[in-house]
Amino acid sequence: MNRAHNAKEADSAVKRVQDAGFENITLDLIYGYPLLTDQKWKANLDKTHELNVPHISAYSMTVESKTALAHFIKKGKQPEMNDNQSAEQFLFLIGQLKEWGYEHYETSNFAKPDQYSRHNTNYWRGVSYLGIGPSAHSFNGEARKWNIANNAKYLESLLLDKIPAEMEILTQNNRVNEYIMTSLRTMWGMDLSKIDRDFGSGYSTEIEKSAEEFFDKGWIIKKDPNTLVLTDAGMLFSDHIASELFIDEERK
């Protein structure tokens, strides 16, 4: 995969960190790569289990344009991605990690109880955050702001007591859609009562109506009368489902 390290070095790095006394660590895994057979994928998960880390992030292999992988695929030197293989490896991942006591708390993230990433969980739950430094993003619930990426220009502006940044004011519908997108990715799900409370009545009824087809497919279930959550099968289509539930920006 053209990585700068190999499997032996990755294994050694984790063990050195553990030997140094760090316990709250995470591993990133990639599945869906055509040369990653199901047997190799299982071996990766077995190694992860052996290392006994409390948090795991796992992502489906994607091909970005203008990368070496994209070039190799175009030239026929590497096979193309296989969506069915990726889906099967994802579902195997979910089942295996649940068996080992991990909670699937976000589409791509698994953790032992109460070992969730506090940083990322705040994003998914819409908590306000402040970004400091070049390229940093901030969010206050109603607006999103991002600082200039150029280091030199950022420093020059600070000398003039300015913070060079752009800002986007989110509409009410933008905010609802962001909540739909982020909450559905988590095991806590989308709280319809929160939507009515924070954004006004009417939205939840519209969302529930749009979700009917996904109830029928078994992709969404009701965790309780006010909470919608994705099933394991629904997790495979989380982005599609969220987009279908989005409130039309023209809606008043």
> Residue 150's beta-bridge partner residues?
none
Q: What is the pLDDT of residues 208-245, one digit of tens each?
A: 999 999 999 999 999 999 999 999 999 999 999 999 99
Q: What is the pLDDT of residues 144-196, one digit of tens each?
A: 999 999 999 999 999 999 989 999 999 999 999 999 999 999 999 999 999 99
| Chain centre distance of CA 239 | 10
Confidence of residue 71 (pLDDT cuts 50, 70, 90): confident
**What structural domains does the chain harbor?**
7-116 (3.30.750), 123-169 (no CATH), 172-245 (1.10.10.920)
Average pLDDT along the chain = 91
Residue with tokens 């699937």: 104
pLDDT at residue 214 in the model: 97
CA distance 187 to 124: 11
- Flag whether pLDDT at 74 surpasses 90: no
| Chain centre distance of CA 236 | 12
pTM of the full predicted structure?
0.86
HEC secondary structure over the chain? CCCCCCHHHHHHHHHHHHHCCCCCCEEEEEECCCCCCHHHHHHHHHHHHHHCCCEEEEEECCCCCCCHHHHHHHCCCCCCCCHHHHHHHHHHHHHHHHHCCCEEEECCEEECCCCCCHHHHHHHCCCCECCCCCCCEEECCCEEEEECCCHHHHHHHHHCCCCCEEEEECCHHHHHHHHHHHHCCECCCEEHHHHHHHHCCCHHHHHHHHCHHHHHHCCEEEEECCEEEECHHHHCCHHHHHHHHCCCCCCC
More confident residue, 41 or 75: 41
> Is 141 within 8 Å of 212 (Cβ atoms)?
no
Average pLDDT over residues 5-18: 93
> Is 243 within 8 Å of 180 (Cβ atoms)?
no
CA distance 243 to 58: 22
Average pLDDT over residues 49-64: 91
HSE-up of residue 162 (Cα within 13 Å, Cβ side):
9
- Flag whether pLDDT at 250 surpasses 60: yes
- Least confident window among 76-80, 96-100, 201-205: 76-80
More confident residue, 248 or 181: 181
Q: What is the pLDDT of residues 88-112, one digit of tens each?
A: 999 999 999 999 999 999 999 999 9
CA distance 182 to 241: 12
